[in-house]
A and B are shown apart, each in its own frame.
Chain A
Amino acid sequence: MTGRTHIPPRSPDQVMRLARLGSFHQSRLSFMRQLLRRLATENWRFETTAFDIDARGVGHAVYTAQGPERSYSLVAFAHDLPPEDRSDRVIATAWDATFALFDGVPDDADIERLRANVPVQEEGRVSEKELTLSRANRSVRLWDHVVSRLAAGEQPDPSLVDEVGYLMRTTAVYGSGKFGAADREAIADRPECHAPFQVEMLTVYLIRTFVMDLVEHMARMQAPDRAVALTPEMRRRFGIGNSTGLGMAPFLVTHPALINAWIGAREEALSRVRSISHPTPDRVQLFRTCAARARQHAYGWHSEHPIQIEKLANLRNDMDLLNTHLETADLSADHAWNALYLWAEDRLSVEGQEMLVSLLLEPHGHLVDELSSCMAADETRVWQINGQMTTGALREILRDVYGWALALDWTQDNTQARVWYVSENKLEPRLGERFEEPLEPYEQPLCPGRDAARLYADLNADSTTGEPLGAFLLRHPEHRHMTRRAQIAALLPYAEIRDNTIDAVMMPIDMLRMKLSFFGASEFDPRSDRWVRITMFQHAPFPHELEDAFADDWALPPLNMAAE
């Protein structure tokens, strides 16, 4: 290859498999990084306008972030939670801390209204003045350790801090109109809210600041004369944990245009980097540093889950191979980035390949950061069914996009072993066993592969090629949902997961990981096949540190941290 060769984006058949989506890592395009870049470049100001918390750790605090046009306030309530009530499950009814993100600056009446509603979470109501609703629980072990060390005038044990990574983990961050909060449409045209999940990420970012202030406060309350604050370096080692369960998985299926926008942006970014004809020395040097940091990150990443332990062993080996390869690889050669990517496809596990994708974007902010603006999507723009399309054209789409599903034998029990359903208790999305529990009547439409195969069979049996779809759908309203999906997937290449979401061995954590990686999460630690713990904003600068140069250079831990 010479000259200006354009390497096209990877095909959806390669990318949209669960095993690959379940191996994604954070990147420059992640929503946390987009947020902090904006907060830094627009010079946002932060103020703690209330911090009224007693010696038992009960009270409230308000943190206001002031941007160029608007401000947003985290209203935090701290509680004294008996240990037996502490649970990450959505069926929990009490938490160590509860939060709402208020649109603007709340007055006393707003605080009192929120005090009556936010601590009970789903049992309460918020209003169009609120953008998110959230709660968090302590990591008791680390919390007690940090409070007692600080109260004794000492810093916490770095190895214990790194092992857990956070003092509190959020167990839900609700946005987009949930429990009465403002709809996304109400804020989507604000520049700071245009990218996905920006108010949710801002909520978590401010929660992290609050939690660190709270732990220092508790130490001071315990020993006013001896207590010390965390050093800035130690403080940044703490992220915010998050526990995410099945509730997040359906989102990927119900937002096809949005998922297409996220994956499409990432694939376009990779394509741009692979198409670079001659890497420059400064970017090569930056990449080498990032690769070394990624290796260290892989070794510092903990999980107890057998599947993730195996994936981590692969990733560590991959990062060893990559760093060894970089010792001799000529990165100044023609299309060296592309050569490196192709080398990885041959040599590395999928975890390692996807880590390399993230690393390749790292030195190329000037080429790829602008794609951040393409990551929002309005589902309604592609939602209307085109009933004028012929059934023959739909059959062609099904063969093209869902060929993998048409090739499966859907009469086998293991092919449709699972049922996605919603339980009447707390309306929690769940996954059940179709042939063991009486769940089928409650099945949610979250199995596009099976539904595509059914639609295809009925199109073959009950329509002529030239018939308009509208007429077919009047006879077959049961195919309306799948017809809509297929028409969307025909327009948007990365809209659809190209794997069986009800297979006997399907891993819901793969779906969760894909979404969480776009948030910018790290340290994925599955606790079962269907819920996962992660860390958010670990090593990120705090609000008062955003002016410093590292506002966007925190997602991989700094080198040699373990040696401190």
Chain B
Amino acid sequence: MTYSLGEVEALSRKAARGAGFSWGMAEDAGKAVRWLCNWGLPGAEALAGYLDARRDAGGPSDTSSAIWSAQSGTLCPITCGTVVSDRGALDTAVDLHALAWPLLIVPHVAWIAPKGSVSWPGSQLCWDEHVRLSGPLLTARADQVTLSTTAKSDGTACKKIQRADLDDATLSRLTRFAAKTYAPETEASKTTGAGAGLTDGD
């Protein structure tokens, strides 16, 4: 079934929050999935995959270097994504060692670089006005990922679809995480939380 981009962004934001990210980080995750879905890319699947398997992935230990790695062993694509987009520009190429779900970092790079590419062994996504891809995208962990501001012109062109195409399994995986942000229902909450005091019919 297709969903609106607003729906998939909200679901992804809540899922990331439910999985333990701060609200601000979760907002970035939601926007990233929205960007990917808009281009027909499996962003929601990647987020579900990452949240399911995320254990001790972390941020880069030294962001001043051109090679990033995590003390914990695996780099988190959402944290690394925010580090990239917070810089506002990508001056030189950056190599990331052992990045989980590299697809999820792509929007963060695309937001600050009008053209560029993210590549890992066997796969590549590049963009200028268009997005082109080659190789499998749902890689759970890539040993080396290169972020660069050169866009190559090879690969299959993607089309903006302005919707999110989600299968039921992905939907229910993300919904499970999102549900952790909802407070359990209590009678007190039902009657007073929304403020029904006076009669609501007449």
Contact = CB atoms under 8 A, between A and B. Distances in A.
Interface of A: 83, 86-91, 125, 127-128, 137, 139-141, 176-186, 243, 245-246, 304, 380, 383-388, 421-425, 427-428, 430-432, 437, 439, 442, 444-445, 469-471, 473-474, 477-484, 508, 527-531
Interface string B186-202: 10111001111110111
A380 B5 CA distance: 14
B37 to A, nearest CB: 11
A83 B179 CA distance: 33
A183 B162 contact: yes
Interface stretch (B78-86, B122-130, B132-140, B142-150): B78-86
A86 B24 CA distance: 39
30 contacts: A89-B194, A125-B1, A128-B163, A180-B2, A180-B7, A181-B4, A185-B162, A245-B194, A246-B193, A304-B198, A380-B31, A384-B111, A386-B88, A387-B88, A388-B86, A422-B181, A422-B182, A423-B182, A423-B190, A424-B183, A430-B193, A431-B193, A445-B23, A470-B83, A470-B86, A474-B59, A478-B24, A479-B24, A480-B25, A528-B196
A442 B179 CA distance: 10
Nearest to A441: B183
A127 B7 CA distance: 12
Given A424-B183, A478-B22, A430 B194 contact: yes
B87 interface: yes
A413 B5 CA distance: 39
Nearest to B25: A477
Contact of A178 (B4, B85, B188, B189): B4
B72 to A, nearest CB: 14
Contacts of B7: 177-180
Nearest to A137: B201
Contacts of B162: 128, 183, 185-186
Given A469-B86, A480-B28, 12 more contacts: A88-B200, A88-B201, A183-B162, A387-B88, A421-B183, A423-B182, A425-B185, A445-B24, A470-B63, A470-B86, A473-B86, A527-B196
Contacts of B179: 424
Contacts of B112: 384
Q: Top 9 A-B pairs ranked by shortest CB distance?
A: A480-B24, A387-B86, A530-B195, A177-B4, A177-B6, A430-B193, A481-B24, A528-B197, A424-B182
Contacts of B184: 424
A531 B201 contact: no
B88 A182 contact: no
A389 B119 CA distance: 29
Nearest to A479: B24
A428 B194 contact: yes
Contacts of B83: 387, 470, 474
Nearest to A380: B31
A380 to B, nearest CB: 8
B201 to A, nearest CB: 5
Contacts of B28: 480
A530 B86 contact: no
B180 to A, nearest CB: 9
A307 to B, nearest CB: 12
Contact of A388 (B82, B87, B195): B87
Contacts of B79: 474, 477
Contact of A470 (B24, B25, B87, B196): B87
Given A180-B4, A183-B4, A470-B87, A480 B183 contact: no
B171 to A, nearest CB: 12
B1 A424 contact: no
Contacts of A508: 195
A69 to B, nearest CB: 19
A180 B188 contact: no
A183 B63 contact: no
B186 A437 contact: yes
Contact of B85 (A87, A139, A304, A384): A384
Given A89-B200, A182-B4, A383 B31 contact: yes
Contacts of B193: 246, 421, 423, 428, 430-432
Interface in B13-65: 21-25, 27-28, 31, 59, 63
Contacts of B188: 437
